[in-house]
A and B are shown apart, each in its own frame.
Chain A
Amino acid sequence: MLDGFSAEILARVQFAFTVSFHIIFPAFSIGLASYLAVLNGLWLWKRDETYLTLFDYWKKIFAVAFGMGVVSGIVMSYQFGTNWSVFSDKAGPVVGPLMAYEVLSAFFLEAGFLGIMLFGRERVGEKLHMFATAMVAFGTLLSATWILSVNSWMQTPAGYSINAVGQFVPEDWWAIVFNPSFAYRLVHMVLAAFLTTALVVGAVGAIHLLRDKTDKEARRMFSMAMWMAAVVTPIQIFAGDLHGLNTLKHQPAKVMAMEGHFESHPDGAPLILFGIVDARNKEIDYALEIPNMSSLILKHHWNAPLDGLDTVPDNEEPPVAIVFYSFRIMVALGFAMLGLGIWSLYARWRGSLFNSPWLHRTAVLMGPTGFVAVLAGWITTEVGRQPYTVYGLLRTGDSLAPVDAPAVATSLIAFIVVYFFIFGAGTVYLLRMMNKRPATPKLGLREGPIRTAGVTPAPQQDPDVIPGEEGA
């Protein structure tokens, strides 16, 4: 089925596939964990039942998303060894401890306190429960910090030397952790996670508002989510711009691919809004461009010269088309989010935030765009790092494990089949939960482990089951 592909390309596809599936869940749970902490805090502070109802509603959704994140994350921690063992051997002394810190300080915090957050309000009291909820949120952020440090080091390696057997060995941990692109990437990703969650929460609020605009919980969550969209999107666009400038400094070839600049522009480069990449002839067809704009954005000067991919040897070039398109998808969605935020501010000012069906419909439509933007952004930065795993130092082709193509192909197919089945079912269940009103007494079809660790005998006729809606 996958004959004719090299083990390298199959292993790359496998990593891309498993990590893309994985990132969806953390991107959601990082934001959702913080949202839960805020909701619980507001409930303790204001004693307004809607906050508690919302907390209980989203915590169940969080549990399912988190479970999927855990299992897809376990796969990641072994993928480095199975398919990329040479990379693991060589870069392990530097990135290994960072990943151990991720597992230790964060994964454990999340998984350990999660049980208390989900099950323990009555058992441990409200204060400890609040503490556990905050620790879960803190854990997700810490987790992001370490893993982004690893990724950033692979993009902009620093603080290492190379020993006799060719391993990267640590010289300065401070320089390794706080490598040149780390802060930019961390801010950009955490904001992205917050936005992604806000868009999902906003979409769920909007669905319920479209059905009943007096729904208290739906109003509250929609309002909170739209504040996030309005406030965070401009910050995110600004952070993304800074991240881009940082990339220009350290990985110029990636920016050339993002911009679609095959040629150098000594008198100022145009900003290509869209076009079709013709990789063979090294040009962008049907380019819609704004003259000199790229120089203005990247160099802050109208006529600043910008080098193109003609200055980069062919065997050092990232795949231009993927980077070019995925970057545009991310940016376009970012501006769509900005539009939604501004629209919501206008509606709020007019006093019609809960009374604007078209705003609500748009918010529903925008619900999944955070995930798409996150994936597009990661594809941009990771494919843009090619042909290296450790940028400029260790080529992807030299990182591969001594595995044969058929073994990688078989496991790749297994991952694809299993992931679509598992995460497809998970998505159905998540959507089904989100489709219920927050005030619905039971979100699942029956009492599950999330509500009670004891068991009430399953009722014969469950009030939550709408006939014809059963079955995955």
Chain B
Amino acid sequence: MPFDLAFIWAGLIAFAVLTYVILDGFDLGLGILFPFAKSDHDRDLMMNSVAPVWDGNETWLVLGGGGLFAVFPLAYAVVMPALYMPIMLMLLALVFRGVSFEYRWRTDKKGLWDMTFFGGSLVAAFTQGIALGALVQGIEVTDRAYSGGWFDWLTPFSILTGVAVVVGYALLGACWLIYKTEGEIQVQARRYAWWLGAVTLALIGFVSILTPLQDPVYFERWFNLPGSLWSMLVPLMMLGLAWAFFAGLNDQKDLQPFLSALGFFVVSFIGLGISFYPMIVPPSLTIREAAAPDSSLAFALVGAVILIPLILAYTVYAYWVFRGKMDPSEGYH
């Protein structure tokens, strides 16, 4: 089928989730790094570096959830109850860190909102990772509804993916700081980035080895010829990016570490896609089964095709407007 709406939409949702991870990952990461900043001044600088863009970033998460509801209502109806607790925790955590952006500047109790910013970012990242791990492990479905228990999402594997996402986001945050700042804070960020990068890569490797063991189907997709020839590109790309990352750090490059670290996420995401396809909720719900009727998909697609490029264009524009190093002495006003 050359023009299948359900698969186009699966691609779009995957794109929205990936864009969310790319855009919100580094600002969650800054929150995770918050307690490690040397001074209050550094924390101000960190928060200011994402203040103009963070809420635009977070709307991609709404699009991921809203989009899933719109075009894969069955997947949405199955995944949300299955991941009830991590999702609820993530939402509450995002509430905390979201308001910290505004509140922190309006009170003398700055420390309180520093803590909520850190805690919210940490918990949001961790629960996103847990949700990912739980999804990879598979969700039990009977008769169009979730039929597992309360704590099915909590396993050593999902905790591992949770930790991996936390470390990975912190890496993105550190790389963002390398890009946006100068002087001592940048030196510190470089040091952090080196360690975070090494740990992130190790965790990605660990998760990658364990994933094919979660479900024999994954194993087949990765290790059966001739498909495995293509899937072997994934670790090769990862190796290339790892090289670019460390080389960028050593050569004191500003942007290269950030782009390489984003690449880690993109490639991991492609790897996940290889494992999942054509499932949307492993092990039993396919993209086609979960999709809404074509009329819903087509109606929503019209808007998506017009608006997503527009949104992307002005997201790029907004980053362009606020590009360059943070200047601690001069504000935007």
Contacts and interface: CB of A to CB of B under 8 A. Distances in A.
Interface of A: 63-64, 66-68, 70-75, 77-78, 80-82, 85-86, 88-94, 96-105, 107-108, 111-116, 118-124, 163, 165, 167, 169-171, 173, 401-404, 407, 411, 414-415, 418-419, 422, 425-426, 429, 432-433, 444-458, 465, 470-472
Interface string B139-151: 0000011110010
B322 A105 contact: no
Contact of B77 (A89, A124, A429): A89
Interface stretch (B67-75, B187-195, B239-247): B67-75
Contacts of B213: none
Chain A at the B interface: SS class: helix
Contacts of B49: 453
A99 B96 contact: no
B69 A93 contact: no
Nearest to A450: B105
A98 B296 CA distance: 9
B109 A407 contact: no
A123 B321 contact: yes
B41 A169 contact: no
A67 B62 contact: no
Contacts of A169: 292-293, 295-296
B95 A92 contact: no
B333 to A, nearest CB: 5
A415 B89 CA distance: 10
Contacts of B300: 96-97, 100-101
B314 A112 contact: yes
Contact of A103 (B66, B85, B330): B66
A444 B55 contact: no
Chain B interface: which size bin? 35 or more
7 contacts: A72-B95, A92-B73, A100-B303, A103-B62, A111-B59, A114-B56, A115-B318
Contacts of B87: 78, 81-82
B296 A449 contact: no
A108 B62 CA distance: 10
A454 B58 contact: no
Contacts of A425: 99, 103, 107
Contacts of B112: 472
B58 A70 contact: yes
A402 B146 contact: yes
A419 B92 CA distance: 9
Interface stretch (B161-169, B264-272, B304-312): B304-312
Residue of A101, A122, A165 with most chain B CB atoms under a 10 A cut-off: A101
A170 B311 CA distance: 27
B98 A70 contact: yes
A70 B321 contact: no
Residue of B47, B55, B145 with most chain A CB atoms under a 10 A cut-off: B55
B59 A454 contact: no
